[in-house]
Structures are given as C-alpha cells and as structure tokens.
Structure 1
Amino acid sequence: MHGPTSPGWLLVTLCAATGAYCLLRMRSRVEEQRRAAGGEAFMGFGMAVMAVPTAAFTPPSWAWPAYATVFGAAALRALWAARTSTHHLHHVVGTAAMVYMAVAMAVSPPHAHAHGGAASGVPLLTGALLLYFTGYVLLSGARLLPVTGAAGGTPSAGTTGAPGAAVGWSDRPELARACRLSMGIGMVAMLLSM
C-alpha cells in the first residue's frame, strides 16, 4: 500500500474526501442511510490512514496489528448488521479486505513497505478481492448512468418521499453511489499495490 508518493497522496485525498462526505451524509432523515453512511465514513478514513505514503510517515510495528483488530471488529459489526440488509455484506467484504491488507503488511519485511514491494500475502485471496472490487466498481459506475423517467416524466425521488418531492442532498442516492464508487476505486488501488 505504501508505494510511490504522488499516487499515494491522491489515494489518501480520495479516501479522506469520501469519508468526509459520508460523515455529512449521516445527517439524513432516514436511519438506515445514516447507519450505512457511518460505516462508509469509517472505511474512507481507515483507507486514507492506511494509504499514507511511507515517505511521509512510517507506521510503528504495532500499527498494522492495531489496524487488523479495528477492522476485524468492524467486520464483525457489519456481519451482525447483514442479518437485516444485504448492503452490509459489501461492508463485510470491505472490512475483511482491510484486515487482510493490514495482516499482509504486518508480516511483510519493512523494506517492502518503502519500495511498494509485494507483501507476503496469499495471491489467490488478493486476486479474488481484486475481482470482487473491480466488479463492484463497474457495477457502481453503471448505476450512476442517468435513467430517464417514463413518458418524459422525471425520475422518482427514491425512498425518501413521494415522487417529485424535494430530496435533501444527504439523501440523494446518486451521491451515495458516487461515494461507494470512489471507495471501491480506492480499494482496487490499494489491492493492486499489494
């Protein structure tokens, strides 16, 4: 994850901006959207922290196990929440991927972090995660394409109100999808640097 400096800072910026927007989305009037936005904000900021280039900051040896523990707890929480919503299954995969990357960085030699070298992980698991997140990015991108309403009408307001009702910016489904898309792109970038 700690490869070249410029792409690393771009990834940090993308993930931190996404996390910040997700914090703002927590102002939604819909409880499920607030919960999902909170989990996504956590992932965005966690990804930003893990992506900081080593030229700027080399984490101490205890940081990687700490990341694995924190994201492991988040994975268990997402697994518990998946009982009621299938969207949380994606959070389970995302947090499990973060645990995997933290463990891989913890067991890799210190010089591999500075040179962006391959961590000693299971290549099959890295490949499977790359396939999942690449598919997720493509599907999320396709969902952002505009859909025209029937017979020249306007698209419905979504789940937050009656068709045609005003929707607050924190409840806009296309903004939530864009947020998820950017985090998916960030996850692909992080996995590629493994």
Structure 2
Amino acid sequence: MTVTTPVLADSLPAGLVRDASLVAGGAVLTGVLSQVVVPLPFTPVPLSLGTFAVLLVGASLGPLRGTLSMLLYLAAGVAGVPWFAEQTSGWHAASFGYILGYVLAAGLVGALARRRADRRPLSMLGAALLATTAVYVGGVPWLMVSLGVGLGEALVLGVLPFLLGDALKAAAASGLLPAAWRLMGRTPRS
C-alpha cells in the first residue's frame, strides 16, 4: 500500500466535485493573475503574474490536479478564452511556449509538494525555481521558432528580462505556501 503525502488541497473533503472545482479554480486563478501584466517594449513576452499562479496552483493541488488545471487553462485559451497575458488567446503568439511550460511546471512543483517541498521556505524556493525553469524550457524553443532567432537571442528576449521578477515570484511562493500550512495548524515534519 502506497501512502501519499497530502498537498494543501487534500485538506478539503474528498470527491470528484472537489477535484473538478479545484482544477477549474486553478485555471481561473491563472487566467486572472495572467492579466496583471507589465509590458516590456523590447520583447514579445509580457511580464505577468501567470507564472506565480502556476507555482501556487501546482504546489497547492499536487501534480495531477495542477497539471490538469494548466491543461484546462491552455485548452480554454487555445479555444478562444482571452485569459492569456494581455487578454490574448490562441497558440499563435511568440509567448505561447511559456503556456506549454506552465503544464510542465505545475506537474513538477506539484510532485515536489507531494514530497513536502512546500512545507519549508527554502525547499519551496528550490521547487519554485525548478518549476520556473520548466516554464523557460517550454517558452524558449517556441520563441526561437516563432521569431526565427537563435538560442542566444531567445535567452536575451525570453529569459534575461524575467529573472529578477521570477526570483521574486519564487520567493513569494516560498513564503506563502509554508505559511498556509502553518495557518492550517499542520506543523511541517522534517
């Protein structure tokens, strides 16, 4: 018998309705936070809080529900829901690869949360930084193909301008998730 370490969402009463609601809610949260945007005139990739949402959703929901939530976000956006950054939709944007990276990132940070990485700030920081790297893994190749640029230029356009902001988002997630566990009255175990 395999014992699964709970994530935050497991604190709610179990059931299919709960899981479906959490998946949909995670997609909506990502869509809402993706609208908090700082456009950068020198790159086609906007700075948004979408990646922050992915960290919170993936860690809170776990690998399966987190991944499903980002797949729902992606599918609805491709179908025309204007909830990608700057109220866009579809797969044609140069930044769409980052949305693909959201799926990988949510699964990764969710799997690390199942291993208790979300219980302490330092381990959550590491998990958040790895998940953010997964977003880049999806985004940079798409950006290269979309713009017809090499790896160096794609890194200048799609990674370097975002490193500080993504580090701040990772730090915020590394404070919020362990705090949520403490608020629930669950003392992290080593």
What's the TM-score bracket when you normalise by the shorter of the two chains?
0.3 to 0.5
Q: Bigger radius of gyration, 1 or 2?
A: 1
TM-score normalised to structure 1 length: 0.33
TM-score by length of 2: 0.34
